[in-house]
Amino acid sequence: MAHPISPLGVVHTLVSLVPIVAGIYSFVRFRKIDTSQTPGKVYWVSMVLAVLTSFGVSSTGGLNAGHVFGVFILLIMFGAMLATRLRFLGKLRPYLYTFGLSFSFYLSLVPGTNETLTRLPVAHPLASAPMAPVVLNTLLILLALFVVGFVVQCRLIYLQNRNAKLA
């Protein structure tokens, strides 16, 4: 049986869909989440709002692992932004920036996948628990997509840097 969702849970869910849409759009349009572009800014702000609204949602009545996970995602995002400003990182900066924002996107899919598969369809959810095989297999597929996507992003960064040197 699916767990009921509170009104704040509905708001949190709707807010949490925005960074997913903005992230996917950014990946398709720019091949990365780029905070200098509008979709990247929308991703950034909406991800912060999604984490903040998560603090009002708790099945345990207090702070839980999901809240800590959200803070971890924000720390990765801030780390990605900080990496662009640390000159001593040199040529690693664009790779770390891209990794951080792409990894934050992947991590945001973890609780979303869990919640979706354990709640939908309402009458008979696809998963009975967060560690159900369908949840774990879905997360494994998403992890593989993240790894392949990041390798492609690294190649694009490399080619862009190489072409800039040739110009």
Residues 6+ apart with CB under 8 A from 134: 117, 126, 127
Name the token pair of 102: 């792409």
- pLDDT at res. 1: 45
Residue 25 inside a domain? The answer is yes
- Check pLDDT > 70 for residue 3: no
Quick one: average pLDDT of 96-114?
Answer: 97
Residue 1 inside a domain? The answer is no
Per residue in 22-71, pLDDT (tens digit) is 999 999 999 999 999 999 999 999 999 999 999 888 766 778 888 899 99
More confident residue, 9 or 131: 131
Torsion of CA 119, 124, 125, 131, to 10 degrees: 120
- Check pLDDT > 70 for residue 2: no
Residue 2 inside a domain? The answer is no
Range of the domain at 81: 7-166
Q: What is the DSSP string of 122-148?
A: TTS-S-SSTTSHHHHHHHHHHHHHHHH
Q: Return mean pLDDT, the chain.
A: 93
- Check pLDDT > 90 for residue 127: yes
- Check pLDDT > 60 for residue 80: yes
pTM of the model: 0.92
Number of domains composing the chain: 1
Residue 63 inside a domain? The answer is yes
Residue 124 inside a domain? The answer is yes
Quick one: average pLDDT of 127-149?
Answer: 97
Quick one: average pLDDT of 2-20?
Answer: 88
Residue 137 inside a domain? The answer is yes
In the DSSP assignment, the letter for residue 84 is T
Residue 99 inside a domain? The answer is yes
